[in-house]
Amino acid sequence: MRAYGVNELRKMYLEFFESKGHLALKSFSLVPKNDNSLLLINAGMAPLKPYFTGQEVPPRTRVTTCQKCIRTGDIENVGKTARHGTFFEMLGNFSFGDYFKHEAIAWSWEFLTEVIGLDPDRLYPSVYEDDDEAFEIWEKEIGIAPERIFRFGKEDNFWEHGAGPCGPCSEIYYDRGEKYGCGSPDCTVGCDCDRYMEVWNNVFTQFENDGHNNYTELENKNIDTGMGLERLAVVVQEVDSIFDVDSIKAIRDEVCKIAGVTYGVDHETDVSIRVITDHIRSATFMLSDGITPSNEGRGYVLRRLIRRAARHGRLLGIDHLFLTDISKIVIRESKDGYPELEEKAEFIFNHLSQEEKQFNKTIDQGLSILADMGKDMNEKGSKELAGADAFKLYDTYGFPLDLTIEILEEKGFTVDKEGFDKEMQIQRETARAARKTTNYMGADATVYEQLDPAMTTKFVGYDELTCEGEITAMTTETEVVSTLNKGDKGTIVADQTAFYATSGGQEADKGVIVSGDAAFEVEDVIKLSGGKFGHVGHVVEGTFNVGDKAVFTVNEKNRALGAKNHSATHLLQKALREVLGTHVEQAGSLNNAEHLRFDFTHFSPLSDDEIARVEKIVNEKIAEDLPVVTKVMSMEDAKKTGAMALFGEKYGDEVRVVSMGDFSVELCGGTHVKNTGVITAFKILSETGVASGVRRIEAVTDQGVFNYYHKQEEELKEAAKALKATPATLLTRIESLLAEVKELKSENESLKSKLAKDALGDVMDQVEEVKGVKVLATSLEDVDMNGLRELGDNLKEKLGEGVIVLASQKDGKVFLVAMVTDEAQKAGAHAGNLIKAIAGCVGGGGGGRPNMAQAGGKNPAGIPEAVAKVKEILESQIS
Ligand code: ATP
Ligand code: MG
């Protein structure tokens, strides 16, 4: 057996199954399409689900892939077992109602033993305990001794996911030898240790589970297999773990080089090396599929992976940014099978280092918060950090628990780990409860699933705005029907249409469908699985029947307006790349007759100058009246033209390329203007942030620009009118008004302070003494409670130590404030009791603290009595 490399093995596998009549498909994106049950693709079969259910017709009944997979559930295993990565590649061969167990088993055996040359004596198959058919195939057709075939229960060897297709599995294990064993006398195939490694899993999808564990035989039986490419390489290259196979070892070596450490010397160090190696491999692939770090969903998974890697970098003593250097090796090693890695390299590096920098900041912030917590513990004389605190550090500041433990350990503290786990458990349960349940396909079931998957619609709307077609299916909102009557809401499907269906950011056409006297208003057009177009709307007149011929007419004006905004979006994207740099990638887009919206990757808000430059470039390209040309060509040729493709978008072999002069080339299925001059004008209305690293521009074209300026002009006129000026004199008018306001303000200030002084008058003359304590009790006019308190504070400063009581009436109400300084309190004076005792005189009540109290009243006539009473009360308070 030769020690084939990872890239060789991938090729050998795909070619072997191509020789068995399979169509080799490119790996699907890690981001699932129309599947809410999965955050990330985790198996070769996941993106093929519509073919398994029959909802879509596969391009061939035999398909083979090498699929990028992420399993976050395995994150804790990474670095600890020899066989788990968060990222791995899954080789698979699939049959959609074509071949079944005999062929699947025979071919997997042929591939492993004949193509690769593995020693048959070290291979062990397992089957589901009740699957005698598979057992017999292994025994009789392949010739494996029965004692070498293992039967396992449902847990291990039955593939099932709630309701839907399911079936027994047959796995193939490879015995890597005693040195990898756990030493237990029971250690055999199926043991969790690293000796018997599961390399291949064949799933025989032969039943349908109705959701209540009632199983019926499927008419079309399917084959779904999965073999970890890295694990196969471990076996073939006879190495210890997936971290020792050629392409992953190269990454590992780079980590060691940067950290200045050697692999295989110290266990803890090795775990860190493996974690960094694995996580940056995952992160690089996720970024290449357009996922960016954020605080939820996939973005959060990515953030965790990057931060964990950065954190282990610190543990290894790396004190500078290093993640992009690791990522470069990932790309070098895997670009063979995944050219998108190289195409998106700049984007990947940008996000990696941005996130790494942010994490470093977080760590420093976390350290200072932890220091505060440490101080707190010292004060309380506690030696253990509360679980809730540790969790807060982890959850809010992204501060890993092990780091918290490590730092506290140095100071002789511990962490309440149980408390931490409890908090974690609570959070997990909340998250689980929030997660929605989905069906087998991971989507809400709709009426369209009942339509014949083989039925398709031909789109002729690039050249025609009206065409004839035959109605092939119709639905209401809940069921498939054969007629729709006046007033009915529903969907019409036809064999041919001129209507553009919402896709690629372009909103659908509007228009009418007419058949004889019957008319249907089209409000939306959607793409249904299998290449069908659904015209959604309502019947305005008459009756439609399946089989009717009808004329499909697109609203021309709406289409033309939308085309201007769509074409302008292309110019905008190119202009952004010229002004900001080639890291700008489309992150989302929407255009219709009214406006356009474009989301793109960039890290900071655009300056006014940048916005102006972008606008200027787009308007120049409009003025140049560039011809807009669309061509259909192979993906290969399209790449040569430098066309910009979207992340993870699955393009067919043939793609449509839209170019505008030499300025912009994009892959695009949308409808456009014939010359950029038609767009007339372009104006950016707003530039905002929508997520970390993603900006959004909203803009208008043509009439939209004029409407915008018209509105601005109207507002300007209104503003001028309000200031009794004209737009031309508005600025001078505002300047003189501002000067006037400034003058009035300062005049007001000086008046206020004069008033306050006047109000105080010569009150200091009224200071008296009660048993050696200074007392100032007086009344004022027209000052409210806030004013009294302010005055009181003022007087307290002047008085030094003593008691102050102020009374005032304003709008028929009475306000009382009493203040007692520290020394006066020591002498026995109490503001609260004092106020309580005198408030009765003004028909009110109140109280407060010893140093400060206030009260309100309704009887201004009682003010002199209240003031007079102060001395009397103090006599009794002061000893
Ligand atoms: P294990 O029990 O070892 O975690 P599994 O039962 O989860 O494996 P399957 O779901 O059957 O594995 O996936 C099919 C194949 O994908 C496995 O036979 C294995 O070769 C590979 N595989 C699964 N998980 C990983 C992983 N985390 N890293 C690398 N390869 C994996
Ligand atoms: Mg597993």
Write out the DSSP string of 166-185.
EEEEEEEEEE--GGGS---T
Q: Average pLDDT by consecutive 10-residue portion of the chain (879 residues)?
A: 91 96 95 84 91 85 96 83 91 95 96 94 94 95 94 90 84 91 87 88 90 84 94 93 95 96 93 95 96 85 90 91 97 94 92 91 81 84 87 76 77 87 80 48 64 88 94 89 92 96 92 96 89 93 94 96 97 96 89 95 93 97 96 84 63 81 92 96 94 90 94 94 91 93 89 70 81 90 84 86 92 92 92 92 86 91 92 89
Residue with CA nearest ligand 1 atom 30:
228
Q: Which of 9, 83, 241 to mutate to test the pocket of ligand 1 (most atoms within 8 A of CB)?
A: 83
Q: Would you give the DSSP letter of residue 503? A: B
Tell me the C-alpha distance between 225 and 234, whole Å: 19
Tell me the C-alpha distance between 869 and 879, whole Å: 18
Q: Which of 231, 242, 247, 305 to mutate to test the pocket of ligand 1 (most atoms within 8 A of CB)?
A: 231
Atom of ligand 1 nearest to the CA of 74: 27
Q: Would you give the DSSP letter of residue 626? A: P
Pairing of β 532-541 and β 543-545 = unpaired
Residue with CA nearest ligand 1 atom 16:
228
11's CB contacts (< 8 A; 6+ apart) are none
Atom of ligand 1 nearest to the CA of 231: 20
Helix or strand run (H / E) with residue 591: strand 586-591
Tell me the C-alpha distance between 773 and 795, whole Å: 15
Q: Which of 84, 93, 235 to mutate to test the pocket of ligand 1 (most atoms within 8 A of CB)?
A: 84
Q: State the ligand closest to the CA atom of 71.
A: 1
Per-residue pLDDT, 365: 81
Token pair in block for residue 614 = 């972008």
Q: Would you give the DSSP letter of residue 477? A: S
Task: Report CA(80)–ligand 2 centroid distance (Å).
Answer: 14
Give the relative orientation of helices 297-315 and 323-334 as an angle to the nearest 10 degrees: 110
Q: State the ligand closest to the CA atom of 108.
A: 1
Per-residue pLDDT, 563: 96
Tell me the C-alpha distance between 568 and 588, whole Å: 15
109 class by beta-carbon count within 10 Å (0-12 exposed, 13-18 middle, 19+ buried): buried
Task: Report CA(694)–ligand 1 centroid distance (Å).
Answer: 35
Task: Report CA(194)–ligand 1 centroid distance (Å).
Answer: 13
Rg of the chain's alpha carbons, rounded to an integer? 38
Please report, to the nearest 10 degrees, the dihedral formed by the alpha carbons of residues 83, 86, 92, 94 taken in order: 130
Task: Report CA(228)–ligand 1 centroid distance (Å).
Answer: 6
Query: How far is C-alpha 792 from the chain's CA centre?
Result: 56
Q: How many CB atoms lie within 10 A of CB 489?
A: 12
Amino acid at 649: E
Number of H helices, E strands in the chain: 24, 35
Residue with CA nearest ligand 1 atom 3:
198
Write out the DSSP string of 399-465.
--HHHHHHHHHHTT-EE-HHHHHHHHHHHHHHHHHHSPP--TTSS---GGGGS-TT---EE-TTT-S
Task: Report CA(176)–ligand 2 centroid distance (Å).
Answer: 19
Q: State the ligand closest to the CA atom of 86.
A: 1
Residue with CA nearest ligand 1 atom 5:
198
Amino acid at 403: L
Atom of ligand 1 nearest to the CA of 169: 11
Q: State the ligand closest to the CA atom of 69.
A: 1
Q: Whole-model pTM above 0.75? A: no
Q: Which of 72, 201, 242 to mutate to test the pocket of ligand 1 (most atoms within 8 A of CB)?
A: 201
Residue with CA nearest ligand 1 atom 29:
84
Backbone angles phi, psi at 584, to 5 degrees: -70, 120
Tell me the C-alpha distance between 825 and 821, whole Å: 6
Atom of ligand 1 nearest to the CA of 78: 27
Q: How many CB atoms lie within 10 A of CB 52?
A: 22
Q: Which residues pair with 503 in a beta bridge?
A: 506
Residue with CA nearest ligand 1 atom 20:
228
Q: Ligand 1 — pocket residues by CB below 6 A?
A: 71, 74, 83-85, 88, 90, 198-201, 226-228, 230-231
Q: Which of 76, 88, 196 to mutate to test the pocket of ligand 1 (most atoms within 8 A of CB)?
A: 88
Residue with CA nearest ligand 1 atom 26:
84
Nearest to 303, CA basis, from 391, 362, 381:
362
Per-residue pLDDT, 556: 95
Q: State the ligand closest to the CA atom of 78.
A: 1
**Three-class secondary structure of residue 536 per DSSP:** strand
Q: How many CB atoms lie within 10 A of CB 220?
A: 15
**Three-class secondary structure of residue 537 per DSSP:** strand
Amino acid at 775: V
